[in-house]
Amino acid sequence: MQKSLRRWIWLGASVVVLGLVVYYLSSSPEWREFRWDRLWTSIIHARLGFLLAAVAATLSSYLLRAYRWQFFLDPIKKASLWVLFVGQILGFSSIYLIGRPGEFVRPAYIARKENVPFTSMAAVWLLERIYDAVFLVILFAAALYLAPLAPAEGQADVNLKRMHEAGRLMFLVTPLMCAALVFFRLRAEKTTVWLSHVFRFLPGRGRHHLEHFLRSFADGLKVIQNAKDFVASVVVSVALWLVNGSVFWLTFQSLGGGLERLSWLSAALAMFFSVMGLAVQLPGVGGGYQLGAIIALTKIFSVGVEAATGAAILIWVLISGPCLAIGAVLLVHEGLSFGKLEAMAEEEHAAAADKL
């Protein structure tokens, strides 16, 4: 399937899903009384000190990601922290502007700058996704069981009970997932051969992509080769998600409107929903990320729709704005553009595929 067609299909599906969510929200009684003047007032009266702290936390999150990549890359090469930081900024800037097709900008840029194989960087990127997924699940469960959640409305209480059921399921699934990763790390080659045999009914191209994914997955897990790098990567991951959650909490503290009463763990729960919303994003404007935060704030914490919407907008601006601003400066310094970055990612990806 051509790249442009895939992109239009992805964009169309995102528009449909986001449209259905917006329709669902707008049909509830509280949204029929939505007032734009309240939304505007909540934003312009936000406390500057908390917003500046949120910006600092946002920028430090990209530095922590770069630092974690250093530990991931240790068995391959002693990489420059500056190159890794620039790669994070340019990579996430590409995601914010062009959506998920920008995911491979980071591994492609770092592969070029550090003169290492793209497949190795793609494996590191995949390992990063695994770490983030595990820590998000842990935060989700911790927020449900440790945060003082006291919904003010009956429906919010029902929603919270459903979340607790999901949390119990995740408590069971997460250890199993970690055990499966350890098993795959130890027996990657045999497992890959076995799975290829199980899915032998797939067409040749499908089996080829499956084997490529499994081998990249195995390479990603093999990046951590000693206890020191593993412990360091876990510690940095903990710091990273503490900082990410703090961006939400600081934003809530800046706005008021009932948001200031939310604990840090409650803010982390709202962050979890926002990250889930990243599955459906519109290039340049987000969409799913903001809607995830709005749903959590209104349906679980009974926050007013204007305050929830203002918080979701501000969080998106605080997360994407500094990254895009610094990314623009770095692009000028590097003599690049977002179009060139995307082309670089496609070129590296195609070259890696040709070698298989």
265-269 contacts, C-beta under 8 A, 24 or more apart: 265/142, 265/143, 265/146, 265/147, 266/143, 266/147, 266/149, 266/301, 268/139, 268/140, 268/142, 268/143, 268/147, 268/241, 269/139, 269/140, 269/143, 269/144, 269/147, 269/149, 269/296, 269/300
Q: How far apart are CA 266 and CA 144, in angstroms?
A: 8
pLDDT reported for residue 162:
66
Average pLDDT (268-279) is 83
Percent of the chain at pLDDT exceeding 90: 20
| Structural domain spans, the chain | 50-183+220-354
Q: How far apart are CA 237 and CA 67, in angstroms?
A: 10
Contact assessment for residue 244 and residue 271, using Cβ atoms and an 8 Å cutoff: yes
Average pLDDT (297-316) is 83
In the chain, DSSP assigns E strands to: 281-282, 286-287
Backbone angles phi and psi of 281, in degrees to 5: -125, 145
Q: Tell me which residue has tokens 């605080």.
A: 318
Residue 174 has pLDDT above 80, yes or no: no
Write the single-letter amino acid at 36.
Answer: W
Q: Tell me which residue has tokens 């298989």.
A: 356
pLDDT reported for residue 110:
92
Nearest to 108 by CA among 351, 356, 330: 351
Average pLDDT (193-213) is 76
Residue 244 burial (CB count, 10 A): 24
The string of DSSP codes covering 49-110 is: HHHHHHHHHHHHHHHHHHHHHHHHHTTT----HHHHHHHHHHHHHHHHHH-GGGGGHHHHHH
Residue 18 has pLDDT above 90, yes or no: no
Average pLDDT (303-314) is 83
Q: How wide is the angle at C-alpha 11 spanned by C-alphas 100 and 32, nearest 5°?
A: 110
pLDDT reported for residue 337:
82
Q: How far apart are CA 314 and CA 42, in angstroms?
A: 10
Q: Considering only 24-33, 105-114, 167-176, 287-296, which range has the smallest mean pLDDT? A: 24-33
The pTM of the whole model exceeds 0.75: yes
Nearest to 90 by CA among 274, 333, 352: 333
Instruction: Kindly report, residue by residue over 115-170, the tens digit of the pLDDT.
Output: 888 878 888 888 888 889 888 888 887 777 776 655 545 455 566 666 666 666 76
The string of DSSP codes covering 136-175 is: HHHHHHHHHHHS----SSHHHHHHHHHHHHHHHHHHHHHH
Nearest to 244 by CA among 78, 35, 81, 92: 92
Average pLDDT (71-97) is 89
Q: How far apart are CA 252 and CA 262, in angstroms?
A: 8
Report which of residues 27 and 40 the model is more confident about: 40
pLDDT reported for residue 130:
84
Contact assessment for residue 259 and residue 39, using Cβ atoms and an 8 Å cutoff: no
Residue 48 has pLDDT above 80, yes or no: yes
Output the six-digit token pair for 229: 């790098």
What letter would DSSP give residue 259? G
What are the distances in angstroms from CA 292 to CA 18, 185, 246? Answer: 10, 34, 17
Q: Considering only 161-170, 181-190, 300-309, 335-344, which range has the smallest mean pLDDT? A: 161-170
